[in-house]
Amino acid sequence: MSVYVNRTLNMKKIKAIGFDMDYTLVRYKTEAFEKFVFELVLEKLVEIKKYPAEITNIKFDFNQVIQGLIIDKLRGNILQTNRYGKVKIAKHGTKSIDFRDLTEIYGNSIIDLNSDQYQSLDTNFSISNGAMFSNLVDLKDNGLKLPDYETLSSDIKEVIDIAHSDGSLKGHVQENLEDFIIADPEVAKLLERFKRFGKKLILITNSEWSWTKSLMEHTIDPFLKEHDSWMELFDISICLAFKPRFFSVSNMFLEINPDTGFMTNAEGPLEQNKVYQGGWAGKLQKDLGLEGEEILYLGDHIYGDVLTLKKTFNWRTALIFDPLQSEIDAIKKSAPTQALIDAEMKKKEKLEHELNKLELLKHEDPEKYNKEDIGKIFSEIDKINTKISQHLETYRQFFNPHWGEMMRAGLEESRFADQVEKYACFYMAKITDLLEYTPRTYFRPTKRVLAHEITEPNF
């Protein structure tokens, strides 16, 4: 698997590398984890929010939601938008909204994620959230006594947070790590390589100390060759960082005693191989004695790990998102079908060009205009449209059955793809894709082809 480059980045100039933990250093068995969250939170909605017990009969469908979607909390809809914020695909609950209704509802709207009306589903942790919302909307519409759509959304989010904090979720996972967590020896190999090349390693996670300790010991320690533990490997480790606030608000650090978990105020500069909680990226950068351009941070959350950081401290950024591998596999498998679509589109464009010429004749040189020619061309275009529709049906089967491609909304880039392009210097499916490159690699993007640089069609 490759690293995909948006902006030039010379790894020789990178002196410190920061890592998120969940879905970056630590990979999850996503479907198993999200299924457990889905079922646990439905039970808690009954217990805590007094929802009808019937909701626990909902079956989890991992494909029902993909990264990059948006919940419209007022209407009970889930949306996929293009890079300009225009809605391209929408579902009310789990039911597709047809083009006419979609245009009537969202035709003149630009979806603004700064509005409280919308909730983004931008990480793998969002899958169960979106699937729950969709199915509960269906049940409400079918007559089950449930709150309004907006309350459904806030209740789900609140109860997910409760499950994360009360021990019912993480406690179960910690007791069954092999069922939910991937122990990849190549992660330790990559980290020790970076260390060998003189890079400072920083852990910055929103997870609490006990969870961080369990997962890092399970996934890193057994595979280390040159260090005794992951704590020795990392120069500084920061838990409960509260990203993205960590990158924008000045907060104090607390030092964690790794043996007891007890915390004390951290006075003075941050120290080597210590564990901290909270804090602020500004102090971290100052204590490292580095400029923003000398720090690379890798994470899986476009807003929590990449966007805010890029805007505040100008660290270099990399985004990790596991579904990228499936998307690329689907693109490769669908390439022959895409070639057929492209070929038919070229024929169609040529015929449309002929139509335009006839339309000009009709108004500018009527004596040469023949109405029968128009009919013949439309007939040919209809045949081509039928073929294109058939090929498109085949093409869609390679991608998510509900939403299609993650990085595209129709022919245009999706909102998620746009954010990746704007704020991630490079991106990849998993962190170990970097093993294919030396820590001194000069990453360069390929030249992007602009619309005016494409060779004009020769009609």
Q: Are residues 314 and 233 in the same domain?
A: yes
* pLDDT beyond 90 at 284: yes
| Token couple for 149 | 């759509």
Please indicate, yes or no, if residue 433 is contained in any of the structural domains: no
184, pLDDT greater than 80: yes
Q: What is the pLDDT of residues 357-377, one digit of tens each?
A: 888 887 777 777 777 788 889
Q: Are residues 296 and 331 in the same domain?
A: no
pLDDT at residue 95 tops 70: yes
Residues 38 and 123 occupy one common structural domain:
yes
Q: What is the DSSP string of 363-397?
A: HH-GGG--HHHHHHHHHHHHHHHHHHHHHHHHHHT
The CA distance from 93 to 300, in Å, is: 27
Are both 152 and 280 inside the same structural domain?
no
Q: Give the contacts of 159 (CB within 8 A, at least 6 positions apart).
A: 41, 44, 45, 48, 49
Looking at 25-145, list the stretches that DSSP marks H as alpha helix, in order from N- to C-terminal side. 30-49, 99-106, 127-141
Res 430: pLDDT: 96
Pairwise CA distance, residues 36 & 127, whole Å = 11
Q: Is 107 helix (H, G, I), strand (E, B) or coil?
A: coil
One-letter amino acid of 278:
G
The helix, strand and coil proportions of the chain, stated in percent and rounded to the nearest 5, come to 50, 15, 35
Domain-located, residue 442: no
Task: Give the position of tokens 């169960």.
Answer: 128
Cβ pair 414, 81 in contact under 8 A: yes
Q: What is the CATH number of the domain that holds 351?
A: 1.20.58
What is the pLDDT at residue 458? 62
| Mean pLDDT lowest among 264-268, 285-289, 295-299, 453-457 | 453-457
Token match 């023949």: residue?
Answer: 370
What's the length of the chain? 459
Nearest to 28 by CA among 20, 18, 40: 20
Of residues 209, 189, 194, 158, the one with CA closest to residue 48: 158
Residue type, 426: F
pTM higher than 0.75, yes or no?
yes
Report the run of H or E that residue 59 belongs to, with start and end: none
Q: Is residue 258 part of a domain?
A: yes
Residue 3, judged by CB atoms within 10 A of its CB (0-12, 13-18, 19+), counts as middle
Residues 260, 158 share a domain: no
Domain presence at residue 312: yes
Contact 273, 234 (CB under 8 A): yes
Distance, CA of 31 to CA of 28 (rounded, Å): 9
Residue 153 shares a structural domain with residue 229: no
295/188 same-domain check: yes
Summarize the confidence of residues 194-204 as an average pLDDT: 98
- Residue pair 253/278 in contact (Cβ under 8 Å)? The answer is yes
314: in domain: yes
What does the pLDDT look like over 313-355, one tens digit per residue? 889 999 999 999 999 999 999 999 999 999 999 999 999 998 8
191 and 309 both lie in a single domain: yes
How many whole angstroms separate alpha carbon 275 and alpha carbon 236? 6
**Average pLDDT for residues 41-70, to the nearest whole number?**
97
Last residue of a domain, one of 293, 320, 347: 320
Last residue of a domain, which of 320, 349, 384?
320
Q: Where are the alpha helices (DSSP H) in 201-301?
A: 209-219, 230-233, 281-288
Q: Identify the pLDDT of residue 196.
A: 97
What is the mean pLDDT of the segment spanning 139-147? 97
At residue 342, the pLDDT reads 94
pLDDT in tens, 157-167: 999 999 999 99
Between 82-91, 194-203, 298-307, 327-336, the lowest mean confidence (pLDDT) is in 298-307
Burial of 182 (0-12, 13-18, 19+ CB in 10 A): middle
For a pLDDT cut of 90, what percent of the chain falls above it?
Answer: 83
Is residue 453 one of the residues assigned to a domain?
no
Count of domains observed in the chain = 3
Domain termination residue (choose one: 268, 293, 320): 320
Residue 197 falls inside a structural domain: yes
Residues 394-439 have pLDDT tens digits of 999 999 999 999 999 988 999 999 999 998 999 999 999 999 999 9
Asked whether residue 150 carries a pLDDT value surpassing 70, the answer given is yes
Distance between CA atoms of 320 and 365, rounded to whole angstroms? 59
194 & 292 share domain = yes
Q: Is residue 458 assigned to a domain?
A: no
Per the prediction, the chain carries an average pLDDT of 93
**Helix (H) / strand (E) containing 443:** strand 442-443
- The Cα–Cα gap between 133 and 237 comes to 35
Domain that holds residue 68: 30-177
In this prediction, residue 379 has a pLDDT band, given cuts at 50, 70 and 90, of: very high
- Return the closest-CA partner of residue 332 out of 399, 414, 418: 399
10 and 55 belong to one structural domain: no
CATH number at residue 248: 3.40.50.1000
Gap between the Cα atoms of 37 and 234, Å rounded: 30
pLDDT band for position 457 (cuts 50, 70, 90): low
Per-residue model confidence as pLDDT tens digits over 16-35: 999 999 999 999 999 999 99
Same domain, 89 and 64: yes
User: Do residues 273 and 213 share a domain?
Assistant: yes
- The label of the residue with tokens 């004596």 reads 367
